[in-house]
Structure 1
């Protein structure tokens, strides 16, 4: 008899027909029948940002070289190909972001564009610039930026004419992000530039994405989403409500994956295709997330995509996170339609692309063969490899390539002799795991109103079993493991290992 690891769905009651668990830690769904480990963070960068990472972006030049840009409250940094250290590439005088504000980035051709509240739009041309500079004297300031078709579009803007406009979007001249004509001018119409205030009670703009499955883009508000449709001259873009009252209170939670944008709504997790949103967390993680996240630090909630493992991840601060620096990571496997959870201390996560090194170019990293943070055959040194990265609380770039984090998972709960009104007496279990050092505890209770009492942890013996002694009507297993493994499935109850005992 196999007791599988239950799906991570802490919103459901412990005894449920779906076979769900509230206790899965440092495990992500790997296959439809197994769970895989979560790697710990292994520091990569040889230096650190000067303070908390408030935004980051991967950029790729025409030669397929990979760059990483990151921003703090007062600086912008570049991690260039062939380097492990960040370089300060701020414009002269630096920046001063108000508390709670973040950087937003986009790439247009060879140009990396960065925006933040009360800062002039910043521009860095790959293989040309040595530092960021103001993009254009006529461009507005903005909180959010994206690329839609042949345009750079910004949202939640400020300029000398219109002042602060939290419901306004503006876009540049077609195929020219350095040109932002005067609003209402003939030049603006000729170059297909423009702007639009999207009035209503949907609150402030919280983010913009481009090129979705059923729209050319989307503007996310606090309490609504508007579809962006390219219409050509004279209107250029049309903006149409798509989601009624639903939006996002977490600007950095918006994560684009191909034709979809995943985000955290005010009542849970969703996937938006440019027309409608589909709930992905209802009856599973929505209520637990909103009860655990520290709502005073929603600006620190950050989403990212791990395409290799088919995961969308959200890093967030729990109510017990010191200073609101995130300590929790929830992940959705879109192929398996399953959730996982990990304990991760980091201030930002990002889908990173490794830059590539030869044995000769490793000298430029500042490491020696004795001090390399990763083995020579690690994917970190292979150019173009996608890895999940994070900025640690000490502001250094790290990858999830360290040893597996200690993992815990509960199986489904079993009522082996419920129809007979009897209890079950369990003597031994066999953990279904292909590595590591597992232990098994059995949770016991006789009434659904009771919390389970767990037996002492039993280590695996030479027969591959974890002997236990458990006597109860309802039984579940808790597996804890350290060390490397690939698949964790649950526990097997060998033939003859459970007997009927007792009565109602």
Structure 2
């Protein structure tokens, strides 16, 4: 038998006699293999209207809260019955929309919420029952970030090339020159798109990237130097950070930038050409990035059709430097911290174990364990905590460089499941379209897939049904032999 290792997902690369695959879906990269992607399981009741921003926070005492904003209200998830409690201040109606979404951040015990159309809001964890306007007369902003001991507002509708930070350790000090409160206008690079959340942040503009340095005891407070000119983040929502590492989408590609400003083109000759050929200028700005709260992965949700919801999710594992693709139908993605529960506490959630939204061993019941959540099209918050999604893994296309024919009589996928169906693709000439035979089932006794195929080029496609429990697929064993030239 010939062992064919699992092919890396790189749809930008030439496939004929290549070493890569253009069909890897609903699986996650692993070292030398792919692993299942859990399916979506709803957790909450329906939000009253479309979510326009959401945020999860774990407070110092271990409590967890999940917030969501709609066009006119702010809500918090009830951790017992998973309903949404309206925590909007009395006599206030917000005016958020698709172009002015909510942005959240946590600063000590303050949860901050901003959108471009309303004054910034604050919720005091452990004390308040509702949001209230943030004190100090801060400017309206589309984005809030935490720079060490400062709250920083950006995407200011009245000054889009400005970042404005609060007083030192004071989220409600917004008087310039008081307690280190100040702002910075960037002369070139376009509008401010976002930043990392560190004491010395990296700031992304439309066509420029700057490094900020906190200078304690100085009147300057923060100094800024340009790291890159004519390079920036075309999509503000695509920026996602963990520590000093940041990931973002610019014209034509996906990138990673480190603390020193070094840029790595992580999608070059891997996925960039395939993805961006499907996007127009409007949809590129809607790419939405989220860091996995537990693993070294970033997820970029894509709205290819411009319909206001996400169709697919690109996954990049920066430790392995490998990609995969997930099919979704969602309005938002976010890391969440569900409340921890004892067995007695679970009784309040559901009277019977079978009615629990997640299995007992799910991270969703562990308050200290973050998980990746999404809002579904019906406005329900949930998580990727269900049984495995239907998985599709295709091999690279196999053929002899000399044009010799190949004969295949059996195939044995290296996967711990016999439930998968195998499709065999063949073609005799490189100019032909791949022809796919009907799906085959594995032998009950051996787990092999028996076939009789003779062609110059072969490709295998394995489909694992939704809900089937498996753990790894790392390749195919094939009974192959040369079969002449005609």
Instruction: Please tell me the TM-score bracket, short chain as reference.
Output: over 0.9
Q: What's the offset of the Cα at 1:486? A: 0.4
5 Å-filtered alignment, 1:35-434, equals: 35-45=34-44, 47-82=45-80, 84-92=82-90, 93-158=92-157, 164-181=158-175, 183=176, 188=177, 190-200=178-188, 202-211=189-198, 216-232=200-216, 233-274=218-259, 275-293=261-279, 295-298=281-284, 300-319=286-305, 323-365=307-349, 368-415=352-399, 417-419=400-402, 421-434=403-416
Secondary structure of the equivalent of 1:91?
coil
Q: Using structure 1 for the length normalisation, give the TM-score.
A: 0.90
State the distance in 1 between where 2:286 and 2:84 align.
22
Deviations 1:339-369 (A, max 9, x none): 0101011111111222111222234436644
Change (3 A) 1:106 1:79: same
Q: Secondary structure at the match of 2:39?
A: coil
Return the match for 2:417 from 435, 446, 449.
435
CA distance in 2: counterparts of 1:500 and 1:369, whole angstroms: 56
Q: CA-to-partner distance for each residue in 1:32-76, whole Å, 9 max, x for gaps?
A: x1101111100011x122222222222121202111112122222
Secondary structure of 1:166 counterpart: coil
**Corresponding residue for 2:483?**
501
Shift of 1:145: 1.1
Relative to structure 2, which stretch is displaced further, 264-273 or 77-86? 77-86
Q: Is the 8 A contact 2:57 2:336 kept in 1?
A: no
Between the aligned partners of 2:326 and 2:56, the Cα distance in structure 1 is 24
Separation of aligned partners in 2, 1:251 and 1:60: 25
Q: 1:8 matched to which residue of 2?
A: 9
8 Å CA contact 1:431–1:438 kept in 2: the answer is: no
Q: Say whether 1:24 aligns with 2:12.
A: no
Look up the SS of the partner of 1:216 in the other structure: coil
- Quote the Cα distance in structure 1 between the aligned partners of 2:418 and 2:149: 51
Name the residue aligned to 1:161.
none
Contact 2:122 2:131 in 1 (8 A): yes
CA RMSD for the aligned pairs? 1.9
CA contact (8 A) 1:216 1:228 kept: yes
**Equivalent pair of 2:289/2:299 in contact (CA under 8 Å):** yes
TM-score, L = length of structure 2: 0.94
The answer to whether the 8 Å contact 2:153/2:165 transfers is: yes
1:149 Cα deviation from its structure 2 partner: 1.6
Within 5 Å, which residues of 2 pair with 1:435-454? 435=417, 437-454=419-436
Distance 1:304 1:478, change over 3 A: same
1: CA distance, partners of 2:17 / 2:291? 31
TM-aligned CA distance change 1:367 to 1:10, over 3 Å:
farther
SS of equivalent to 2:180: coil
Structure 2, unmatched stretches of 5+, are none
TM-superposed CA distance for 1:294, in Å, is 5.5
Which stretch has the larger CA shift, 120-129 or 440-449? Answer: 440-449
In 2, Cα distance between equivalents of 1:101 and 1:307? 25
Kindly provide the CA deviation profile for residues 188-225 of structure 1, in whole angstroms up to 9, marking residues without a partner as x: 2x51110111111x2211112221xxx71022112222
446-455 or 347-356, larger mean C-alpha shift: 446-455
Q: Are the equivalent residues in 1 in contact too, given 2:52–2:98 (CA < 8 A)?
A: no
| Cα distance in 2 between the residues matched to 1:436 and 1:253 | 39
3-state SS of paired residue (1:435): coil
> 1:332 & 1:83 partners in 2: Cα distance?
35
Distance in 1 (alpha carbons) for counterparts of 2:214 and 2:239: 21
Verify the 8 A CA contact 2:147 2:200 in the aligned structure 1.
yes
How many residue pairs get aligned? The number is: 479
